[in-house]
Structure 1
Amino acid sequence: MSLETFASSDSFTLGVELELQIVNSHDYDLTSGAADLLRLIEKRKLMADVKPEITSSMIELSTGICTNHAMVIEQLREVRDALVDCAGQLDLRLAGGGTHAFQDWSRRRIFDTPRFRQVSELYGYLSKQFTVFGQHVHIGCPNADEALWLLHAMSRFVPHVIALSASSPYIQGYDTGFQSARLNSVFAFPLSGRAPFLLTWDDFKVFFDKMHHTGVVTSMKDFYWDIRPKPEFGTIEVRVMDTPLTVEKAAAIASYLQCVARWLMTERPFQPQEDDYLVYTYNRFQACRFGLDGEVVDPISAEHRPLRELIRETIHRVGAHAVELGAEEGLHYLLDMLRDPLGSDAAWLRDIQREQQFLPEVVRQQCVRFEGG
């Protein structure tokens, strides 16, 4: 199987995917409700799409192709409201968040599709431990070479969106000390991490053919990179975010990535290089561990900067692009978040647990928040 031809997309168009938790409404543990939810939701006519994920306690929604923040938020709210209504008919509830606070991974069931069965057979228990919940954002690119350039330029901003979305402090009933513990589960997979530093599609095809020859990969789906090209869509896909607790925050983070992408592509403030990755894993860890209070290193100047300050500075730097893209509302949302001590979802979850001392109540309040309450 050869690598697909890279489709052309309108620059800076957006697609947003959110993986959601399916919980029961009595003890708020995860439950196997995906098949029943899909049966109900397929009767609805929606702008967005809904499909299964690897375990039956998860479901994924995805918008259509959007050009601005208003379109993203409209589609996310419509599909959220439809899913919440269907879940209610089944005595289920839905929540955002990168991990479920107290579920036991060994009780999860793999959703029955050939692809998911194959993944389960290959990765064993890791497949069930992969019951974690992320946001993915697709950004349209006019051609393959531009997509690879943007992929590597965007790598410097991976810590930004990890920190903005961080919502997974609890795993298996324990406070991990991380703001985003979800990514530790992703990192266990052998084809995770960063893409190879290749800036032309011809070079990337050579790399893919070599990997395919080894038998390790059969398609781009086998790569769990933080950012990967999606040739069939003509996009790059940023995959590092936890699912936020609200669709409003998800839309705002997508707008941030859209504005950064337009700034990078039109102004070319720097040229991506292999040395950008010298500090990549360290910066990624800082964002996962400390969230907005993390400190990252500039790969060229070696300057250490607080993430909260860097994100605020970037929002102001891309302001003119936000106007052109209709993204001002999303960026204002993030500026308000940066000023709020509980603006981080991880901080909000810990505050609820500090007050209630009962993780099922934390999950219940996550459900209320996701539902728009």
Structure 2
Amino acid sequence: MNSDGSRLDGQGAAGPRFGVEEEFLVVDQVTRSAVPRAEAVLRRAGERLGTRVCGEITKLQLETRTEPCHTVAELHGQLAEARVALAAAASAEGLRIIASGTPVLGNVIPSPITEGPRQDLGTATFRGLHDELSICALHVHVELPERERAVLVSNHLRPHLPVLIALAANSPYWAERDTGYASWRTLVWNRWPVAGPPPYFTSAAHYDEFVATLQETGALVDVGTVFWDIRPSAHQPTLEIRVSDVPITAEESALVAALVRGLVVAALAAVDRGDPGPVVSAELMRIAYWRAARDGLGGHGVDVRTGEAVPAAELARRLLRLAAPTLEEHGDLELVTDWLRRLVEGGDGATRQRRAATGSGGLAGVVDHLVARTAPPLASTPPLASAVSASRPGENTPTWRRFAGNGPRREESTPP
């Protein structure tokens, strides 16, 4: 047992624990263009965040991670703290950070890839796909050590993936122009050979056999390049849901994570009743992904179980209803409900980016909007700022090592 009375595997009344990885872009404070200076920011940010911050596949990006959390308040506190620390490190270098699924300004094609033998192998394997890797996502981990259950839970989560795309849609610009999409990152990412929604699996053995086949075909560099939007971790006892753009604010990231954990708990109950999950048409999933990426939270989505077009905001409310029992158990329901209401009323990230573009600053004004909202001072983010002090770096074992006792997980989460 842990000191708080919860089980060490994260299950039981206090579990499962969950956590988040957020990816950010580094931009010049004068030109507002994305620039390949992430390493300088990483050196400074590491002094405060330690292993909770790391580099990414391109020199334009950084990633922060939370430690495993029990409550939404704890998670939000860690997200807000890391964003503030990262912004301060960037500012000291004459730079800024932004939370956007794609760059707004800057010549980022081809992407400046970090050096290393694994990256070289990735470039040899995936070729031109490496040219457009300056994209930023939100990864949610939910503690689920039993791989058999994790694979079956994945089946239950598949129908909800398009809704999570719409909910966090935050990448309307690419190559300094408006794509007309709310989540262009989704379109860019889904061109990879092993990306998008995972197949339907009947067991962990079925999953492993299929991954082995992918390796034989040359579609993978290693198991770390299984980039499906849900995957059981190869190195940690978690299920990772990685379908969403990185949202503009820490509150939105915490909202997505809270909904995901609630969906996982609901799916676990179904799996334990013997339900292996619904079989959903791959063709309809493809259409639902496209519609969610195009229209975001303000448009219509596709209910993949019925084929019906439904307002995306209503589909998001359905997710909230499914997650509500878990949220209520942890005392998070009122907070998450309020966050979702404000998101629906204010618009998804893409809508707010476009709104900022209508000002006199144009796309530079969009970057300014993102800078201001990515990492506002902690004192301006009530009611959860007080939760930050509960999880300062150095007071606990770093990040996801607390789940499995092994090392950092860069080989798994970063394209080569």
| TM-score, L = length of structure 2 | 0.82
1:239-318 counterparts in 2 under 5 A? Answer: 239-267=242-270, 271-318=276-323
Report the CA distance shift for 1:31/1:301 in structure 2 as closer, same or farther (over 3 A).
closer
Among candidates 15, 20, 29, match of residue 19 of structure 2: 15
SS at match of 2:48: coil
Gaps of 5+ in 1: 1-6
Does the 8 Å CA contact 2:35/2:106 hold for their aligned counterparts? Answer: no
**CA distance in 1 between partners of 2:25 and 2:77 (Å):** 21
Pair 1:349-2:353 in alignment: yes
Residue 210 of structure 1 pairs with residue 213 of structure 2: yes
CA shift for structure 1 position 267: 4.9
Gap change, CA 1:70 and 1:309, over 3 Å in 2? same
- Give the Å deviation of 1:18: 0.7
- Residue 288 of structure 1: how far off its partner (Å): 0.4
What's the C-alpha RMSD, in Å, of the aligned pairs?
Answer: 2.2
Q: Which amino acid aligns with 1:331?
A: T
Q: How big is each residue's C-alpha offset from its partner over 1:316-337, in whole Å with a ceiling of 9 and x where there is no partner?
A: 3432221113432233201221
The Cα of 1:307 is off from its aligned counterpart by: 1.7
| 1:133-152 correspondence to structure 2 within 5 Å | 133-152=136-155
Please list the CA deviations of residues 92-123 of structure 1 after superposition, one character each: whole Å capped at 9, or x if unmatched: 10000111113222364211233323223322
SS in structure 2 at match of 1:119: helix
- Pick which of 307-316 and 72-81 moved more: 307-316
The answer to whether the Cα contact below 8 Å between 2:98 and 2:370 also exists between their aligned partners in 1 is yes
Q: In the alignment, is the contact (CA less than 8 A) between 1:253 and 1:330 conserved in 2?
A: no
Aligned residue number for residue 369 of structure 1: 373
State whether residues 21 and 66 of structure 2, in contact with CA within 8 Å, keep that contact through their aligned partners in structure 1. yes
Letter in 1 for 2:363: L
1:69-107 Cα shifts (integer Å, max 9, x gaps): 112111111211111111111011000011111322236
List runs of 5+ in structure 2 lacking aligned partners. Answer: 1-7, 378-416
Runs of 4+ off more than 6 Å: none
**Structure 1 Cα separation of the partners of residues 299 and 287 of structure 2:** 11
State the match for 1:104 in structure 2.
Answer: 107
TM value normalised by structure 1: 0.91
Name 1:125's counterpart in structure 2: 128
> What is aligned with 1:3?
none
Q: What code does the residue aligned with 1:362 have?
A: V
How many residue pairs align between the two structures? 364
Q: Which residue of 1 aligns with 2:341?
A: 335
Contact 1:12/1:261 (CA < 8 Å) preserved in 2?
A: no
Query: Secondary structure of the equivalent of 2:359?
Result: helix
SS at match of 1:364: helix
Aligned match of 2:32: 28
Residue 178 of structure 2: aligned partner: 175
1:24 is matched by which residue type in structure 2?
Answer: D
Structure-to-structure mapping, 1:318-329, within 5 angstroms: 318-328=323-333, 329=335
Do the aligned residues in 1 keep the contact of 2:248 with 2:373 (CA within 8 Å)? yes
- Gap change, CA 1:316 and 1:197, over 3 Å in 2: closer
Give the percent of matched residue pairs that are identical in Structure 1 and Structure 2.
26
Match for residue 160 of structure 2?
157
Preserved CA contact (<8 Å) 2:105 2:176:
yes
Cα distance in structure 1, aligned partners of 2:302 and 2:92: 49
In the other structure, the counterpart of 1:4 is none
| Pair 302,36 (structure 1): closer, same or farther in 2 beyond 3 Å | closer
Matched to 2:369, the amino acid is Q
Partner Cα distance (2:299, 2:123) in 1: 34
- Is residue 2:72 matched to residue 1:37? no
Q: Which residue of 1 aligns with 2:380?
A: none
Q: Would the aligned equivalents of 1:145 and 1:199 in 2 still touch at CA under 8 Å? A: no
Question: Is the CA contact 1:8–1:143 (under 8 Å) kept in the aligned structure 2?
Answer: no
Q: CA–CA distance in 2 between the matches of 1:209 and 1:187?
A: 21
Deviations 1:214-248 (A, max 9, x none): 44435321112121121321222111111111111
Are residues 110 and 262 of structure 1, via their aligned partners in 2, closer, same or farther at CA, if it must alter by over 3 Å?
same
- 1:107 to 1:206, Cα distance in 2 relative to 1, 3 A: closer
After TM superposition, the structure 1 stretch with the greater mean CA deviation from structure 2, 253-262 or 268-277, is 268-277
d(CA) in 2 for partners of 1:267, 1:189: 31
User: Measured at CA, do residues 145 and 103 of structure 1 come closer, stay the same or move farther in structure 2, by a change above 3 Å?
Assistant: same
How many angstroms does 1:147 deviate by? Answer: 0.4
- CA deviation profile, 1:278-330 (whole Å, cap 9, x unmatched): 41111111110011234344344443322211211331343222111343223
Deviates more, 1:105-114 or 1:73-82: 105-114
Counterpart Cα distance in 1 of 2:70 and 2:223 = 25
Tell me how far apart the structure 1 counterparts of residues 84 and 328 of structure 2 sit (CA, whole Å): 29
The 3 A distance-change label for structure 1 pair 121 and 214 is: closer
